[in-house]
Amino acid sequence: MTQQKKCIGLKVLAVIAVLFGLLTLKSGGAVLFIDGADRIAAGNYVPFVLWANFLLGFLYIIAGVGLWFQKRWASWLAIVIAITTLIVFAAFGWHINNGGLFEQRTLKAMILRSAVWSIIAVMSYIRLIKQKYAV
């Protein structure tokens, strides 16, 4: 893979990560901190899922900036984000399985988050870590 393709691919991942983080902070913050229409519209949100995703939003942005500058640590952070998201998703599944209230859109959002961060983690690992140590 050429250096230019590597750079463009990482920049795309970086932009996705930062945009994802900004949207996460905006939507999660509106439900958590503003008692209004967004909180009412959220319906039966699951607090631990909302808090986890909101806090991870800050890490999304940090990882995105690191990916933009092709920092290896950003790939490791993306892996941590992906694993943490999958753990929260599993806990959410446990919540549902035990009869907890939830919104269908939360399930869809967790599928999307898990997929996006798994892809970012794998792609950044391949482009920043694996290729560096390839023989």
Per-residue pLDDT of the chain (135 residues; tens, 9 = 90+): 556 666 888 999 999 999 999 999 999 999 999 988 888 999 999 999 999 999 999 999 999 999 999 999 999 999 999 999 999 999 999 999 999 999 999 999 999 999 999 999 999 999 999 876 654
Please give the pLDDT value at position 1.
Answer: 54
With beta carbons less than 8 A apart as the criterion, state whether 86 and 56 touch. Answer: no
Residue-level pLDDT at 28? 96
**pLDDT number for residue 44:** 94
Do 43 and 82 meet the contact criterion of CB atoms below 8 Å apart?
Answer: no
Q: Which residues contact 48 (CB under 8 A, 6 or more apart)?
A: 88, 91, 95
CA-to-CA distance for 53 and 126, rounded, in angstroms? Answer: 25
Residue 134: what pLDDT?
A: 56
Burial, 37: exposed, middle or buried (Cβ in 10 Å; 0-12, 13-18, 19+)?
exposed
Name the pTM for this structure: 0.91
Q: What is the pLDDT, as a whole number, of residue 35?
A: 84
CA distance 97 to 104: 14
Residue of 120, 109, 23, 26 lying closest to 64 (CA atoms): 120
